[in-house]
Each structure stands twice: as C-alpha cells, then as structure tokens.
Amino acid sequence: MTKRVLLIQPNYKTQRESGAWGITPPMGLAYLAAMLEKNNFPVEILDTNALDLTIPQTIEKINQIKPDIVGVSILTPAHQYSIDIVKGLPKEILKVAGGPHPSAIPEEMLRSGFDIVARGEGEYILLEIAQSKPLREIKSISFIENGQIFHNPPREPLDPNELPLPSRHLLISNAVDKPYSSGGTQYFPWARITSSRGCPYNCYYCAKQIFGHGFRARTPENVLEEIDFLVKNYKIKEVSFSDDCFNFDLDRANRILDLIIERKHNLCLRFSNGLRVDKVNEPFLRKMKQAGCRYIGYGVESGNQDVINNIPKRVTLDQIREAIKLTKKVGGIFVSGYFMFGLIGDTEETMQQTINFSKELDLDVASFTIAVPYPGTRLETMIKEKGGKVHFKSWDEFHHTAGKVMFSYPGMVEAEKIEAAYKRAMREFYFRPRYIFGHLSKYFSLHRIKVGLKGLRAVLVAVFRKT
C-alpha cells in the first residue's frame, strides 16, 4: 500500500514575539514533498507556524489527515513543541524527525518519541522510508530496534541539480504571498530561492557543518528554471536568496545575474542571508544592481580582528570596510551588517570595539545577536572542552535573537556584561541623531515605511526586553 506522508513545520511563536523572526515558507519541506510527489507518494504540508496552531490543534489536524508517516523539520527552538506533538499521536503513525536539531542529537529525539531521525539532507532518506526500504539499509538515519539505538553510516552529500523544483503548491498562498514574509520583504508576490547548498568555511557557531562543509551549487540554468517558473506562474516581484554563500563561486554568481538581466524580469533581489565580503568587487556589485538587487547583508561578526580570526571568519576588518564602501559607491542597495557578542575571546573592550565598528561602517541596518552554542556546532564542543557549561531554562529560548547568554566557560566575560553590550549596541547604533536624520529620507515610500516599522519594533523589543 502506498504510504501517505504529512510534513510538519512546527510553530515558532515564541521566537516571532522577539520581533526578529518573520514567517517564512518552509522550503525544505517543499523540497522533501517534491521528491515524494515525483515518485507518486501522496503528501501534504502542515505549516503550524504560519497558521499559529497550538499543540492540541496540530494533533487534531494530523488525526483528520490520517497519514502513515509524519515528518517534522526541527530547528532548536521547536524541540519541545515537536516532541509534544508526536507524544499525542497514535502508535501506528511512523514519526520521523529531521533538520539540524535532530541531526545533532538523534538519541535524545528517539528517546522522546520519534521512531526515526533523518540526519542531514532528507530528500532521499524520506523517499526510502516511504518506499519501506529496510531501516538497516537506509544511510544517514538513526532508529531504535529492540530497545537498541542504531546510527547508520552517513550518505554522500547530494547534488542539488538532481532535485525537482520545490512543491510550493502544497504551502499556503503557494509560498509566494502573505502570511509569508521575511523581516525585509518589500514586494508581493515574493519567493525564497536557494541556489546552492553547503559552505566551505568552518565558523564555530554555525550548525551548517552538520550537513557537510562542501559548497554544492545549482547551475545558473537550473536556478533560472525556477525563477522563470515563478515569474510565469506566480508573477513574483521579489526574490530572496537564502544561500549560505551565494558568491563563493563568483563566476557562477555572475552568470546567474547575467541570465536574470537577459530575461528582463524586473525583480527586486535580496541577499539577506549574507554575502562574503572577501568575494565582492565593484563590477560584481554593479551587475547585482543591474539585475535588481536592493538589499545585501554582510557577515561582520566583530570589530576586533583577533576575535574574527578565532571564528575563523577568514576575513579582515579592512575587507569588511572595502566591501561596504564599494556597495555604497554603487548606490541604490540597502546594506546590512551582522554582529555577534559573546564570541570566544570577547571582552568588554572588544565588544565596545564591535559597537564602534558598527557605527563606523556606512550601514543602513545592523543586526546584533548573542552567540548561541547550538547542538552540533564546534562552539558547543569548545565550551565543553574548556570545562564550560551550556545552560538555559528551555529549548524555546535557545536562539540567537533571545538576547540572552546561554553558556559559560573559564575566563569568559560575565553574562550580564555581554547582555548589556547587546542592548547598548542597539541604542548606540539606532538612536544616534546622525543615523536617524540620515535615514529618514530613505523611508519615504510605503514599502520602506513598513520595513522600517518592522525593524523599529525588533530594536525596541531587544532594548527593553527583560533578561
């Protein structure tokens, strides 16, 4: 009998309340669904985050659908929500956990009620589970058999060009309209696109290493196939690229931009996930603008070179300055910088240097967070090796926008001072008269006003949140 599959996006309500999280479409689930549909398996997606469903409401929906397999994609803050769901389901439903959090702590998820943990990329894993392949033969899964936990060997990273286009039609509003929006979405309909997977770098705070370090890119033609489809079928006006490292291969990135320009799609392009500062130049940035780019985020992290070297970010403060200077020279592109406090080696002095650096750079937006040792990261390992401790009240608050310090280790600056620096950064950056009056003229359009108000709310929540 053909297995019926239900894929679930958990509710991240507590994170949305921080003001920093939007409601973005779960494109990972859409890719899983596309692989299942390609192989003739009936599949549905239940986005409890967009629908803001409680646990009892979610369980009721699942029981109405009556799936044979339930797959839940889990980021760390959804740990408890996801476990509470599966504990309320009938035993005959096969319960599969996937995503970075279960991939890092599979045994804990299995002991909490899941039958299988898919470690890493799940497209082929879930397909083989649906095909009833013997569990011992499915690579990259963990499961319990006769009371014993088994961890099957990992599989090779997949080639993203092999995958069908994501099944957006299974998501609310075809995943291109409200209720979905990111923090800076300006135009609707819009779409999230991932043109590559993986990252060749090894920053200690990043959980992406769970899925492998290699950079695996879709061809420019493959990417444009998706964009052409979205323009033709959904009339999208904006594309948000969610790559970890879009400009790692500059020739490929340039070719994607060339094809967009040739098509004359007239799209607003956003690169809010962050571009490498050491892999931009003026011709590339001018082509970005010509293709429709209106927003670029850069990963800065710190204003102290030694702290950056410890990550290791493999960039210099001067490269950061130059990338932002060139972007501003090109003009017409909003520039965001991402900064982090509580990094290894941070002191009161280095954190103030980070605040000062954020004000020195000609940024339109600055995003400040506190480092969090997500499960499976090198940061988590480093803390344990130093005799430190990861501490928190619940997984719900375990996210980098919580404004809280979640760990300690010998020699580390006090948590209170890190949290104070985080709040001070918001005040010093955004409440400067120079910043306020210098940016008023940029918010005269209705789109910009809406985005600005979203950002203001996030800043006020962060500054006045009780820690």
Domains along the chain with CATH numbers: 5-151 (3.40.50.280), 182-464 (3.80.30.20)
Asked if 375 and 390 touch (Cβ cutoff 8 Å), the reply is: no
Where does residue 461 rank: exposed (0-12), middle (13-18), buried (19+ CB within 10 A)? middle
Q: What is the pLDDT of residues 151-184, one digit of tens each?
A: 999 999 999 999 999 999 999 999 999 999 987 8
**Separation between Cα atoms, residue 424 and residue 187, nearest integer Å:** 32
Least-confidence region, from 29-38, 355-364, 429-438: 429-438
Q: At 112, which amino acid appears?
A: S
**In whole angstroms, how large is the CA radius of gyration of the chain?**
22
Question: Residue 269: CB partners within 8 Å, gap ≥ 6?
Answer: 238, 239, 241, 260, 288, 291, 292, 293, 294, 295
Q: What is the pLDDT of residues 375-394, one digit of tens each?
A: 999 999 999 999 999 987 78
**Separation between Cα atoms, residue 166 and residue 154, nearest integer Å:** 24
Question: Residue 433: CB partners within 8 Å, gap ≥ 6?
Answer: none
pLDDT of 4: 98
**Separation between Cα atoms, residue 280 and residue 320, nearest integer Å:** 10
DSSP string, 331-353: -S-EEEEEEEES-TT--HHHHHH
Q: What is the pLDDT of residues 104-146, one digit of tens each?
A: 999 999 999 999 999 999 999 999 999 999 999 999 999 999 9
Q: At 123, which amino acid appears?
A: E
Where does residue 177 rank: exposed (0-12), middle (13-18), buried (19+ CB within 10 A)? middle
Q: What is the pLDDT of residues 426-446, one digit of tens each?
A: 999 999 998 988 776 665 555
Distance of CA 274 to the CA centre of its chain: 11
**Separation between Cα atoms, residue 68 and residue 131, nearest integer Å:** 12
**Separation between Cα atoms, residue 286 and residue 462, nearest integer Å:** 35
pLDDT at 83 over 90: yes
pLDDT at 464 over 70: no
How big, in percent rounded to 5, are the helix, strand and coil portions of the chain?
45, 15, 35
Asked if 72 and 96 touch (Cβ cutoff 8 Å), the reply is: yes
What count of residues does the chain have? 467
Q: What is the pLDDT of residues 181-200, one digit of tens each?
A: 987 899 999 999 999 999 89
